[in-house]
Structure 1
Amino acid sequence: MDIEQKQAELIDHFVKKASAQVGSAIGAVIVEATSHASLFAFSEILAVPTVAELEGTENSVYLELLRLFAHGTWSDYKSNSGSLPQLLPDQVLKLKQLTVLTLAETNKVLPYDQLMLELDVTNVRELEDFIINECIYAGIVRGKLDQLRRCFEVQFAAGRDLRPGQLGSMIQTLSNWLGTSDNLLISIQEKIKWADTMSELDKKHRKDVEDKVEEVKKSVAVKICWSMWLTYVVAEVTHCKQADLDFRGIEEIYSEPGGVMDYEEDRIRPKRRRHPLV
C-alpha cells in the first residue's frame, strides 16, 4: 500500500472517530491521531464539527494541539509548551518529522546546522540517523546526505496541511505555473513544427542528392562501356593493321628479285670450278 492511500484511509478513520465523540473524548482521539506513526495530515480532522466545537471550552487545548500538528513545528511547541499538553514520545517524533517537511517547503538544501538547531539534535551522527530512519524510511522525504558540505539535499518531500490564508497564495502559484506551462507548450509545439519542416526539407535534399548520384553512376557506367568499346575497336584495328603489315612483308620477300625463289634457283644451279691461280 502506498503512502497516499494509507494516509487517506487513516484520515477517514479518525474523521469518523472524532465525529462520533464529544467533549473530552475528542481529546483522546486527537492524541491518538497525532501519535500515529503513519499519519501526517490533520486538516480534515480539524474540519470535523465536533472538533471545531472545542474552541473556547476547557478542552480547547486539544484543538490547539491539533492545529500545532497541522501547521506548526517543534520550535513552535517549545515557544508555547506552557499552554499545551505535554507531548508523548511518539508525538515528539511526529512533530520533528513535520518540522523537516516544513523546512523542505522553502529550501531544497538544508544545512546540518539549521536542522540540528530546529530539531534539538546535538551531533551530526544523531541527525543523519534521524533523517535516514525517521524521514527517508518513513517515505516522507527523499534526498541525499552530503557529509562533505554538511547538508541534506531534498529531492522530494510530502506536503503539509495548508495554513490559514495560504490557499490564495497557492492558487496564485499554481496559476503562474499553469501560464508558464502553456507558454512552454506553445514553444515546444512550434519547435516540433519547425523540426518537422526541417525533416521534410532534409528528406527532399537527400532524395535530390541520391537522384544525382544515380545519374552520375549511370553516366559513368555509359562512359566506361563506351571507353571499353573504343579500346576494343582500337585494339582490333591495330591488330588488323599489324597482320596486314606482316602479310605484306612476306609477300614482298617472295616477290622481290633475288628473293627466296632466286635463292632456290641458285642453290640447284651447277657451280663452276675455279682454277687455282698459278
Structure 2
Amino acid sequence: MDIEQRQAELIDHFVKQASTQKGSALGPVVVEATSQPSLFAFSEILAVPNVAELEGTENSAYLDVLRLFAHGIWSDYKSNAGHLPRLVPDQVLKLKQLTVLTLAETNKVLPYDQLMQELDVSNVRELEDFLINECMYAGIVRGKLDQLRRCFEVQFAAGRDLRPGQLGSMIQTLSNWLSTSDNLLVSIQEKIKWADTMNESDKKHRKDVEDRVEEVKKSLSHKNHSNTEICWSMCLTYIVAEVTHCKQADVDFRGHEEIYSEPGGVMDYEEDRSRPKRRRHPMS
C-alpha cells in the first residue's frame, strides 16, 4: 500500500474519531494522530467542528498541538514548550520528520550544520542515520547524502498541510507556470511549421535538380563525343547550383535556430565556422 493511500485511510479514521468526541476526550485522539508513523497531514482533523470548538477553552492546548503538527517545526515547539503538553517520543520523532519536510520545501540543498541545529542532533552520524532511517525509508523524502560537502541534496519531498495565506502564493506560482508553458508551446508550434515548410521546399528543389540531370543524361545518349564536354559542363553547373542551395538552406536553418535556441547553440555554430576548410583540388 502506498503512502498516499495509507494516509487517506488514517485521516478518515481520525476524522471519524474526532467527530464523536468533545472537550478533554479529544486529547487522546490528538496524541494518537500526531504519533501515528504513517500520518503527516492534519488539516482535515483540524477542520472537524468538535476540534475547532476547543479554541479558548481549558482544553485549547490540544488544538495548539494539532496546529503545531500541521504547520510548525521542532523549533516552534521548543519556543512554546511551556504552553504545550509534553510530547511523547513518537510525537518528537514525527515533529522532527515534519521539520525536514518544511526545510526541503524551499531549499534543495540542506547543509548538515543547519539540519543538526534545527533537529537538535549532536553529530553527523546521528543526522545521517535519522535522514536515512526515519525520512528516506519512511518515503517522505528522497535525496543524496554528500559527506564531502556536508549536505543533503533533496530530490523529492512530500507536501505538508498548507499554512494560512499560502494558498494565494501557490495559485500565483501555478498561473505563472501555465503562462510560461503556453508561450513555449507557441514557440514549438512555430518551429515545427517552419521546419515543415523548409522540408517541402527542399524536396521540390531536389526533384527539379533530379529532373534536369535526367535530361542531361538523355542528351548524352544522343550526342556525339564532341559535345560530351558541353554536357558535362552542364552537369557541373547543376551540381554547383545544388551545393549552393544546400549551403544557403543550412545558413537559413542555423539563423532560425538562433531565434529559438539557447545561446549555447550559437556558440556551436561559431565553433563550426572556425574549423579549417578542406583544400579543394581542381577537376581535370
TM-score by length of 1: 0.75
Alignment of 1:29-178 (within 5 A): 29-178=29-178
Query: 1:30 & 1:222 partners in 2: Cα distance?
Result: 101
Give the letter aligned to residue 157 of structure 2. Answer: A
Say if 1:222 and 1:175 are closer, same or farther in 2 by CA, change over 3 A: same
1:69-124 C-alpha deviation (Å, 9 max, x unpaired)? 00000011111111111111111111111101100111111111111111111111
1:236-270 C-alpha deviation (Å, 9 max, x unpaired)? xxxxxxxxxxxxxxxxxxxxxxxxxxxxxxxxxxx
Query: 2:85 & 2:186 partners in 1: Cα distance?
Result: 55
Query: 1:46 & 1:28 partners in 2: Cα distance?
Result: 15
Say if 1:182 and 1:226 are closer, same or farther in 2 by CA, change over 3 A: same
Give the letter aligned to residue 126 of structure 2. Answer: E
SS of residue matched to 2:39: coil
Query: 1:92 & 1:65 partners in 2: Cα distance?
Result: 12
Query: 2:167 & 2:48 partners in 1: Cα distance?
Result: 19
1:199-254 C-alpha deviation (Å, 9 max, x unpaired)? 33333344445445555565666679999xxxxxxxxxxxxxxxxxxxxxxxxxxx
SS of residue matched to 2:144: strand
Query: 1:212 & 1:25 partners in 2: Cα distance?
Result: 95
Say if 1:81 and 1:197 are closer, same or farther in 2 by CA, change over 3 A: same
Say if 1:226 and 1:31 are closer, same or farther in 2 by CA, change over 3 A: farther
* Residue 197 (1) aligns with residue 194 (2): no
Shift of the alpha carbon at 1:194? 2.1
Runs of 4+ residues over 6 Å off in structure 1:
221-227
**Mind listing any 5+ residue stretches in structure 2 that lack a counterpart?**
228-284
Query: 1:117 & 1:223 partners in 2: Cα distance?
Result: 94
SS of residue matched to 1:121: coil
Which residue matches 2:23?
23
1:161-194 C-alpha deviation (Å, 9 max, x unpaired)? 1111111121222222222222222222222222
1:130-173 C-alpha deviation (Å, 9 max, x unpaired)? 11111111111111111111111111111111111111121222
Query: 1:112 & 1:188 partners in 2: Cα distance?
Result: 42
**Mind listing any 5+ residue stretches in structure 1 that lack a counterpart?**
228-278
Which residue matches 1:183?
183
Shift of the alpha carbon at 1:196? 2.4
Give the letter aligned to residue 91 of structure 2. Answer: Q
Query: 1:68 & 1:184 partners in 2: Cα distance?
Result: 41
The root-mean-square deviation of aligned C-alpha atoms, in Å, is 2.2
Instruction: Select between 176-185 and 151-160 the one with higher mean Cα deviation.
Output: 176-185
Instruction: Select between 112-121 and 211-220 the one with higher mean Cα deviation.
Output: 211-220
SS of residue matched to 2:153: strand
SS of residue matched to 1:55: coil
Shift of the alpha carbon at 1:67? 0.2
SS of residue matched to 2:57: coil
1:39-85 C-alpha deviation (Å, 9 max, x unpaired)? 11101110010000011111110100000000000011111111111
Query: 1:11 & 1:66 partners in 2: Cα distance?
Result: 13
Say if 1:201 and 1:56 are closer, same or farther in 2 by CA, change over 3 A: same
- The total of aligned residue pairs comes to 227
* Larger Cα-atom Rg: 1
SS of residue matched to 1:143: strand
